[in-house]
Structure formats: structure tokens, C-alpha cells
Amino acid sequence: MRIADYSVTRAVLERHGFTFKKSFGQNFLTDTNILQKIVDSAELSREVNVIEIGPGIGALTEFLAEQAAEVMAFEIDERLIPILGETLSAFDNVQVVQADILKVNLAEQISRFRNPDLPIKVVANLPYYITTPILMHLLESGIPFAEFIVMMQKEVADRISAQPGTKDYGSLSVAVQYYMEAKVAFIVPRTVFVPAPNVDSAILKMTRLPQPAVEVADEDFYFKLVKASFHHRRKTLWNNLQAYFGKDPETKDWLTRSLEVAGIAPSVRGETLGLAEFASLARALEAEKG
């Protein structure tokens, strides 16, 4: 019997008197076929370390531990620590860390792997309410994660993997695709969770690019430009840039010159621009500023 089998999950929760906390976004997966598909998508081996975020009672952790070199699972809810100690007692290659992934010193924790030099993949069922902050925190940490295979709300997965010119494409798409190649692996229905969430989920597979998708001189400026360009989706690029940088004659002149140099029409909308076009505009803005 697997931890994820509904009868086992129910028995563990009842034995420990566990009640779900809405504030932690807890939804436990009770479908072993889907867990197997997640692990298959992750393409694990004994030459890969795994970081899991929000292991719950260990349903996914069990599958990960069977295939990875080592699993480090970060759980914010201290009530789940003794439960995980019980459900994962058969595995000597799992470390459970009671911590908030957004506040922990990740580099220090990773150094505690038996072999910290192995490639690291993040495989997790992310809490819906904090999916984007967790992803951006990990991407911007400077730690060279090889891949992310993560479950999230389908709508968020669609936004991250969206291409220019589509309704889902936005600053989040650009932010993630700057670092990773992103694609939806498969959809997970809401019916396979306890308790069932209000929306369907998706497994998103993100593979780190050997270098960022585009070359920019100043990453901070690049991402500020991207956010500014999407600030009001229905407005033109020109209106969004003016709203962010200013409307005085000198600024307007600078924006006009920069758009010309980049070969981008002021009348387009931000959602039509790809990463390379944003990079071209960022370079032009920096060059023309001087």
C-alpha cells in the first residue's frame, strides 16, 4: 500500500487527528498513477538530488525517495513533521526540514546533501496561494537547479508557458522563460485531492537553459521594463512606457528614439513582444539614455 492510497491517507490523518489549514493551501494527492507520472516526468536517477516543497504526509516523497539519490523536503507546518517521521521511516535518503522555503538559507541547506555536487531538481506540489513567489525565489536564488517539475493551478501553468500574442502571455511568462524552457506535461483533475481544490492543476516541467534566453546588460532594468510594458494589458506599449518612465518632453523624446532604434512600433501592445524584442528595447533605452 502506498501513502497516497486513499485509505492509507485517511487512516494517517485520523490517527494523528490532523485537520487541514486553509492558510497553508493544503491539498493532499491521493492518486498513485498521477504520482508515478510526476516522477516519470522528472526522469530521476540515483545521480540526482531532489528538493520537495510542501510534502504533506509524504505521498510524493515516497515515490521520489525510491528513485533519487536523496530528497530534501521543506515543510512549513510543524504538525506534519511527526507524521512524516512515521510515513517515511523506511527511507534513509530523506531529510525533512521544518522551514518556510521563502526564508530558509537554501545554499546552506543544499550543502547538507550527502553529495551536494549532484544535479538538483525541484519536484513538488506547490501551494496554490504562493506558487509564483516560490518559483521566482528559486529562480533568482542563483542556485543552478537543473529542472523544476511542479504541480500548480492550471491557470498559472498556462501563464508561465504562454507564448507572445496569446491571452495568457505576460510578465510572469517572460520572467520564467528568461531562465527556463517551460511546457505543460499533463493536467491533473481536482477530484484526486483531499480536500478537493476548486480548480484543476497542471504539472509544469521547466528545464534550465544553459544561459539566459536573451543577453541583457542589466537584468533588473530588463524585468522592470517587462513589468511596465504589461502594466495595463489593454493599453499600447507607448502608453505603458509613458506611465512608467514619465510624460515630459525629454522622456517622450528618449522613448521615441529608443523604440525606433529597437524597430518596435509604439502602437503595439506589450503582449505581442517576445523576450528578444524586450531585450532589444532595453538595450536601446540604455544606449539612448546617455
The answer to whether 200 is annotated as binding is no
For 192, the grid coordinates are 484526486
Over residues 177-204, mean pLDDT: 93
Distances in whole angstroms, Cα of residue 248 to Cα of each of 44, 200, 245, 254, 288: 55, 47, 9, 10, 16
Q: Is residue 83 located within the same domain as residue 16?
A: yes
pLDDT, tens digit, for every residue of 8-52? Answer: 999 999 999 998 887 777 889 999 999 999 999 999 999 999 999
Contact 38, 186 (CB under 8 A): no
Residue 83: pLDDT over 70: yes
Q: Is 100 marked as binding a ligand?
A: yes
> How many structural domains comprise the chain?
2
Give the pLDDT confidence score for residue 64 in this predicted structure. 98
> Would you say residue 1 lies in a domain?
no
**CATH of residue 266:** 1.10.8.100
**What is the structure's pLDDT at 129?**
85
Over residues 160-178, mean pLDDT? 96
Domain boundary among 208, 242, 266: 208
Residue 248: give the domain boundaries: 219-289
For residues 118-128, average pLDDT: 94
With cut-offs at 50, 70 and 90, classify the pLDDT of residue 290.
Answer: low
Q: Looking at the structure, do residues 117 and 248 belong to the same domain, yes or no?
A: no
**Is 125 marked as binding a ligand?**
yes
- 54 and 154 share one domain: yes
Q: Which residues contact 108 (CB under 8 A, 6 or more apart)?
A: none
Q: Which residue has the cell 509524504?
A: 58
Q: Indicate if 102 and 140 belong to the same structural domain.
A: yes
At 27 the pLDDT is 87
Q: At what angle do helices 275-289 and 219-229 cross, to 10 degrees?
A: 110
pLDDT by residue (tens digit) across 191-250?
998 888 889 999 999 999 999 999 999 999 999 999 999 999 889 999 999 999 999 999
| Residue 270, annotated as binding a ligand | no
Same domain, 249 and 175: no
Average pLDDT, the chain: 95
User: Is 49 annotated as ligand-binding?
Assistant: no
Is 29 annotated to bind a ligand? Reply is: yes
Q: Answer yes or no: is 214 within a domain.
A: no
User: What is the spatial distance between Cα 56 and Cα 43, in angstroms, rounded to a whole number?
Assistant: 22
pLDDT at 23: 72
Q: Which residue type sits at 288?
A: E
Q: What is the pLDDT of residue 207?
A: 97
The answer on pLDDT for 54 being more than 90 is yes
Last residue of a domain, one of 208, 231, 256: 208
Q: How far apart are CA 136 and CA 49, in angstroms?
A: 20
Do 204 and 227 fall into the same domain?
no
- pLDDT, average across residues 243-272: 96
31 with 130, same domain: the answer is yes
